[in-house]
């Protein structure tokens, strides 16, 4: 069961990072942000969190406040940099990964570490703004969600209800 956290942030689910860096993205989040499985997605670190990332669809960037930032990292926008390689610009981290048809992507362990993450970490997937949804491993939303017992937990192999 999903819920709305304090501050109006809608919680989709928890998702666990696999031992190989695999990570499952909830179907509802992908639908709301018009992200299609089988396509590249962009991961971006947040300003206020050191652990986790936001999932951004390239098509939503064009006329947004993010356009200026992404104009400075064209190799990310045209996916010419190696998949999963982290780029840094103005204190933020960026990379792109391919989202497969099972809604799973793989991030190299080195890149996970740069985002402050590791295999086995449980990330909270939540709606944050009209441009992206976030997957966070710490912070007030994570603390609140840990006290709720019926949020779905996903991993790259299967879904399990709490």
> What DSSP line would sit under 31-73, residue for residue?
HHTTPPTTEEEEEE--SS-SSEEEEE-GGGTTTSTHHHHHHT-
Token duo for residue 93: 């981290």
Give the CATH number for residue 39. 3.40.1550
Instruction: Output the CA–CA distances (angstroms, integers) from residue 145 to 24, 116, 124, 127, 161, in the order listed.
Output: 18, 20, 8, 13, 14
pLDDT at 1: 46
Query: Would strands 153-154 and 9-16 be described as parallel, antiparallel, or unpaired?
Result: parallel
Per-residue pLDDT tens over the stretch 51-74: 899 998 888 787 777 788 888 888
In this prediction the pTM is 0.89
Token duo for residue 45: 């670190």
Go through 43-62 and write b for each residue having 16 or more CB atoms within 10 A of its CB, e for each that does not.
bbbbeebebbbbbbbbebbe
Token duo for residue 22: 């695999």
Per-residue pLDDT tens over the stretch 100-122: 999 999 999 999 999 999 999 99
With tokens 């009209």, the residue in question is 130
pLDDT at 94: 93
What CA–CA distance (Å, rounded) separates 21 from 69? 27
pLDDT at 44: 93
Boundaries of domain holding 50? 3-160
Average pLDDT, the chain: 87
Per-residue pLDDT tens over the stretch 2-32: 555 556 679 999 999 999 999 999 999 999 9
Q: Average pLDDT, stretch 123-133? A: 90
Q: Average pLDDT, stretch 131-150? A: 87
What CA–CA distance (Å, rounded) separates 161 from 45? 28
pLDDT at 4: 54
What CA–CA distance (Å, rounded) separates 129 from 65? 12
What CA–CA distance (Å, rounded) separates 126 from 52? 12
Tally of domains within the chain: 1
């Amino acid at each position: 069961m999903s819920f709305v956290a304090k501050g109006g942030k809608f919680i989709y689910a928890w998702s666990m990072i696999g031992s190989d860096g695999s990570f499952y993205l909830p179907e509802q989040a992908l639908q709301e942000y018009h992200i299609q499985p089988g396509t590249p997605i962009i991961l971006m670190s947040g300003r206020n969190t050191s652990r986790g990332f936001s999932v951004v669809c390239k098509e939503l960037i064009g006329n947004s406040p993010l356009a200026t930032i992404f104009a400075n990292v064209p190799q990310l926008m045209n996916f010419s940099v190696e998949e999963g390689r982290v780029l840094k610009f103005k204190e933020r981290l960026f990379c792109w990964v391919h989202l497969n048809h099972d809604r799973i992507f793989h991030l190299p362990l080195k890149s996970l570490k740069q985002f402050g993450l590791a295999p086995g970490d449980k990330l909270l997937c939540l709606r944050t703004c009209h441009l992206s949804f976030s997957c966070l491993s710490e912070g007030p939303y994570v603390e609140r969600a840990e006290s709720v017992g019926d949020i779905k937990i996903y991993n790259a192999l299967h879904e399990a209800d709490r």
